[in-house]
Structures are given as C-alpha cells and as structure tokens.
Structure 1
C-alpha cells in the first residue's frame, strides 16, 4: 500500500485541500468514533482461548484522527490483536488520506526512498528462491519493492497484488508485469499454482483474517514454491521499552501482531516448512527517532487536518513549528543511536521485525 509518484495532477495549496475535505469528515464523525468498531471480542482470534487481557491503550499517533484503541494479548498463545477491531467503515475511515489523497505525496517520498531496504530484502532470500521464475508481491502498493528487486533477481518476473489503485499504476509504470487489484483471498482461486514465490512484506498485520491469507498464499504457490513473510516482531525489546511510542504498533492500522512461534506453527499446519528465519536483516533502524518524533508531534499543537473542527490559527501554527524545530537536535541524536544499535539489534533482542521463508511441501 504505497503512494504514487507517477500521477500528474494540479496541486492546490494544502490548506485549500484540507478545507474541501472537512465537511465530509465532519459528517462521518457525527455518530462518534464508536461507530467504527466491531463488538468487543471475548476470545483470542488466533487460538480461541478466553484468557485475554489488555496490553496497550493508545490513540492515532500518526494522523491524529479521533478514537482510542486497545491491543489485547492472549495469555495462552501470546497473540496480540486490536480489540475491539475496526469494522469495514472504520478501516475505510482510518486508511483514508494516509496512503493516498492528503498523505500521498509524503508517503511516496518515504516508500520510494527505501531502495536499500528493498534490495536487502531481495538479497536476503536469494539463497532460497534463486531458481524462481514468477513472483507475486502481495500488498505491493505502487510496486517499489518489485522495481528494486529486479536488480537483484533480473530473471524473475514480478507481479503485484493490492486493493488500491496503486497496483494499476505499478503496472503502467512497468514496476510489475501484471497488477492484480482486489483482496488476496478473493483473487487467489484464479491464480492457483501460478507462482514460485509469494511475498508479504508488512502485509499480514493489516489483514482481518491472517490465516486465510496464508491459505491463499499456499493456493497460489506451485509445489516447492516459497512464501516470504516479514512482519513486526511484538517480542522486540523496543516494544516494551518504548511503550505506546513504538512505531510498529501503528494503531489503528495493525490489527494483528503475531509472535514468531505462532506463525511458524500456523505455516507448519498448512503444509509449509520454514527454511529461514531472519531478524537482523529485517530490522529497520528507526525505533528511537520514530518514538521521539511521535512524542514531539503529540506534544505540539495540531497541524491543519480535515478531521479537526477548524483550521488552527497563526499563533498555534507558529508554536507547532517552534516545538518541532526545538526537537531537531534530539532527533539527530536519536537517528545516530538507531544506526549504532542496529548493528547489534539481533543479539540484543531489539530487532523490530522478523522474516520467515517457508517452502510449500
């Protein structure tokens, strides 16, 4: 779910765009944020145990849309999940203007600037998928990973799948050979046995039904093909040290945070054999600087946002700028600390993600 860099459209001033969006947001919030949630679950969605309890409470620290969110932990299998979970209306509301619309240009810069990370992903699985011919990247967004991965795997044909229209752009720009638009579980029956590799990079945590996504991956893989999964690691020490400021909680978008042991067992139950487990190469060196930025952004007066009642005045906008500028030295130090600690992220238990490569037997 990456933003687009290839769309050409006139850009009007941001405050005009925000003002134009405000009436629609005001109407949608008329019933309050409670309209965006399913009923509270009383059992774990992973194992069915009733031994669940509150683990973390937070708000939307990135967009600052109204609402409060709770992550529960299962005390039987240790699975973490949003509870109550967003319903379809809530998912639409909280995703809107994040990857597209108002947030598109900002997110495009972030995703398109991660070539080194994408190259590292492709290189890390090369020993296991070196003979692959066709690769499906699920949740491909605008296909930035596929574009970079071709440098590492020039003989592989990359296709992409995503719910957003970004996948159409990826196909037009030549980043993917074919773009499949829609939900993976719905499209999988039409793609049975087509692929040597299926990848899910930071996709599974967004899914409402992760096991069904794994079943879809199995269906689209040829026997002997490989599934590559990368997800946030809820067992990272950073998750405990940073609390609600740990970026990979990413509420309200992340619905499930799966401990590695749970995912390994689920894969085994579906007929996969895990051939590689990677922590250090899956780690992104952003934990400290992201936590500090989230805290600064929360402390500063709000930016002009369409889900707020009115545009902040000039004084509040100036105060926001002053707060963020004052934090720049600390942000630079946090960035340096992240890079230094990244060298030992795996032995220190700080890796914020893990990657599994599993062969369909």
Structure 2
C-alpha cells in the first residue's frame, strides 16, 4: 500500500501479484525449515505417552504443509508436533492478521463488540474499577475499545507480537501498544497492572508456561488474570474432526484442558475465582465447518503462495460452488445460534472456556 495519499490503493489482484515472487522464493527450498524436530515427550508434563489426535492442512489460508496434533495420554494436553519453527511462524502468520489479510480481519474483529463487552463484564464480580489493564495478544485492540464501555475509568494497554499493537495505539484503541514477546517484556512491566487478559492468545504461544509466569510478574498482588482459550474437550472437536475451527492449524500450537490450566495457575500463585464455559462459547461451529468444507472443495482463490493465478474457468467454478453452498451456511448459522447455543454447556459442545484468577 502506498503512503502517498494521491496514489489510489492497489487492488487485491495487484497486491497478490506483488507478493507472489517473495512466496515463491520462500518455498523454493521446501518446507523442512518451517518445522522444529518432532518431540517425543509432552511439553506440559514431560510424559512420553503420546498419541496422534489430528492430521490436517491449512484450511484457512491454504498455505502448503501438513500439520499434526498429538495428545498426551497422561495429562491430555494437545500440542502441535512437530511444532512450527521461528521461520515457520513468520511464514504462516504473514498476511493473516496484517498485510493482505489486515483489512478483512480488522472488519471481522471490529464487528464483535457484544462478545468483547461480555469478556469485560466477566471481571465485574471481582473488581469494577481497575486502574490499569494489559490485554496480551490484543490484535488491533478492538477488545480494549469495547471494554471501555464496561470500565470507562480504566487505562488499557495492548501487547502483541505483530504490528497490531502499534496499529491499535495509532487508532486510539489502546493507550500504549507494546510489540514483542510477553515473557521478554514482562520484566519491564513488573507489578504495573491490576488486570492482565489473554483472550485466545495462549494457544498461539510457543511456551504457555512462560506466558503465565509473565502474567504473574506483570500483575500487582491482588490483581486479576483473565484467560480464554479453545476447549480441546469440546465434543465438537471429535464430531467435526478437522473441520472444527478452533484447531486453527498451523497457528494453534497448544490446546490446554481446563484442569491442567487450573493446576498450573495454582502452582504459580494464583487462586482461580471463576470458571466459565457457556459464556465464552462462540456459536459458529457448524457454520465454520460448512464454510471450511466448501472452501476446501472449491477451486482456490488467487493467493500469492500459489504459483499462478486461477483461470477464468476456475474462478467461475469457485463462485458456483460457494453459491450452491449457501443453504448449508444458512442452516449452520441457524442451528449454531438457536439450537446449539442454549444447550452448548450441558451437551459438552462449548468450544471455549474462561478462567478468572487472582494473583495471591
């Protein structure tokens, strides 16, 4: 995108064409450098009793590669194995939250105010006027913007390892945006915050235990930690298989059962004050599964990591396939919202859980 206001924005096709040579160079030597060596023990408890839970591909961006999630038979922790390397993280995140995908993701996140308000309200039974709040994994800062409705007197800062935190600060959604890794920045933030939140962040981190330790450092004594993550024990994980959106491969590296997270928080010096399942459930599972399946069978869109653009015939076939799938998308939406949502918790279908913990 040009910085000259007189220059019109490039079309998506032009952006894709400009990015294609760089992706071709990245892929020229194969995919091996994007993965670390496969590990033989659980990164959560150290057990060697591992089993394969899922094999899949990138169903969102359709970047090349195959990804495996293993599960520990001892503690039930689910983790990507082999895990993405630093080069792999850069490759698979590129043009998802920023670059080519920035506008679309910004619109998606910006339209979820009601959900963000519900997250902010989950703190009210424990503290109603926090002075300083750090949102880790803030993205473009839309949660912080919405949370001011619930906590108008609170100063919100955001932290992210992409440039989203800087974008959020420029847009005025956060008072201060930190770019970088939380464990590395936490020393300079020690005891500075009344609240630290991690909404759908922990599953993206390479070392969740270090992120929790960083939260403990950043919080003042008596401060609160809010964590929301996908629930790997959701029945949808089994029923929908690779079409369950919260697997989100290859971005989600760790999926932690709630019992494991509760125990780890207690070990670190937290008291868990609340556990929620129905409240953080996002009613999109069937809609997302229908979309992922349709998108998988349709010819590919124009993507810079593909060697050539689609032909006119392929574009027509893609449009025809997606239009034919509209009834399935509508049915999935209605079932998600009006049939499953009221019963998600009792049926074990809730796709996320939330913990509120106090630093002792």
The answer to whether TM tops 0.5 is yes
- Asked if the contact 2:129–2:151 (Cα under 8 Å) also holds between the matched residues in 1, the reply is no
1:357 aligns with 2:356: yes
Question: How far is 1:14 from its partner?
Answer: 1.4
The counterpart of 1:313, out of the listed 304, 311, 314, is 311
Distance 1:259 1:270 in 2: 17
Aligned to 1:193: 191
Distance 2:325 2:93 in 1: 28
- Asked if the contact 1:85–1:255 (Cα under 8 Å) also holds between the matched residues in 2, the reply is yes
* Alignment map for 1:49-60 (pairs within 5 Å): 49-60=47-58
1:123 aligns with 2:121: yes
Question: How far is 1:329 from its partner?
Answer: 1.2
Distance 1:152 1:130 in 2: 9
Distance 1:13 1:160 in 2: 31
1:164 aligns with 2:162: yes
1:286 aligns with 2:284: yes
- Asked if the contact 2:106–2:140 (Cα under 8 Å) also holds between the matched residues in 1, the reply is no
Distance 1:345 1:326 in 2: 29
- Asked if the contact 2:224–2:356 (Cα under 8 Å) also holds between the matched residues in 1, the reply is yes
Aligned to 1:3: none
Question: How far is 1:254 from its partner?
Answer: 0.2
Aligned to 1:26: 24
Q: What SS does structure 2 have at the residue aligned with 1:128?
A: coil
Aligned to 1:229: 227
- Asked if the contact 2:199–2:227 (Cα under 8 Å) also holds between the matched residues in 1, the reply is yes
Distance 1:75 1:241 in 2: 20
Q: Which moved more, 1:38-47 or 1:99-108?
A: 99-108
Question: How far is 1:178 from its partner?
Answer: 1.3
Distance 1:125 1:282 in 2: 13
Distance 2:294 2:146 in 1: 33
Q: What SS does structure 2 have at the residue aligned with 1:126?
A: coil
Aligned to 1:276: 274
Aligned to 2:67: 69
Once the two structures are superposed, residues 89-110 of structure 1 have per-residue CA deviations (whole angstroms, 9 ceiling, x without a partner) of 0000000011111111111110
Once the two structures are superposed, residues 196-253 of structure 1 have per-residue CA deviations (whole angstroms, 9 ceiling, x without a partner) of 1000000000000000000000001010110000000000011010000000000000
Question: How far is 1:165 from its partner?
Answer: 1.8
1:252 aligns with 2:250: yes
- Asked if the contact 1:129–1:197 (Cα under 8 Å) also holds between the matched residues in 2, the reply is no
The counterpart of 2:39, out of the listed 38, 41, 46, is 41
The counterpart of 2:85, out of the listed 84, 87, 97, is 87
Aligned to 1:205: 203
Distance 2:54 2:70 in 1: 7
* Alignment map for 1:106-121 (pairs within 5 Å): 106-121=104-119
Distance 2:127 2:170 in 1: 26
Question: How far is 1:353 from its partner?
Answer: 0.2
Distance 2:108 2:222 in 1: 35
- Asked if the contact 1:81–1:256 (Cα under 8 Å) also holds between the matched residues in 2, the reply is yes
Question: How far is 1:124 from its partner?
Answer: 2.0
Aligned pair count? 355
Aligned to 1:149: 147
Question: How far is 1:34 from its partner?
Answer: 2.0
Q: What SS does structure 1 have at the residue aligned with 2:148?
A: helix
Question: How far is 1:129 from its partner?
Answer: 2.6
- Asked if the contact 1:141–1:162 (Cα under 8 Å) also holds between the matched residues in 2, the reply is yes
The counterpart of 1:97, out of the listed 95, 98, 104, is 95
Aligned to 2:260: 262
Q: Which moved more, 1:172-181 or 1:194-203?
A: 172-181
Once the two structures are superposed, residues 299-328 of structure 1 have per-residue CA deviations (whole angstroms, 9 ceiling, x without a partner) of 000111111110110001000000000001
Q: What SS does structure 1 have at the residue aligned with 2:63?
A: coil
Aligned to 2:76: 78
- Asked if the contact 2:271–2:358 (Cα under 8 Å) also holds between the matched residues in 1, the reply is yes
Question: How far is 1:10 from its partner?
Answer: 4.0
Q: RMSD across aligned C-alpha pairs, in angstroms?
A: 1.2
Aligned to 1:304: 302
Distance 2:275 2:8 in 1: 46
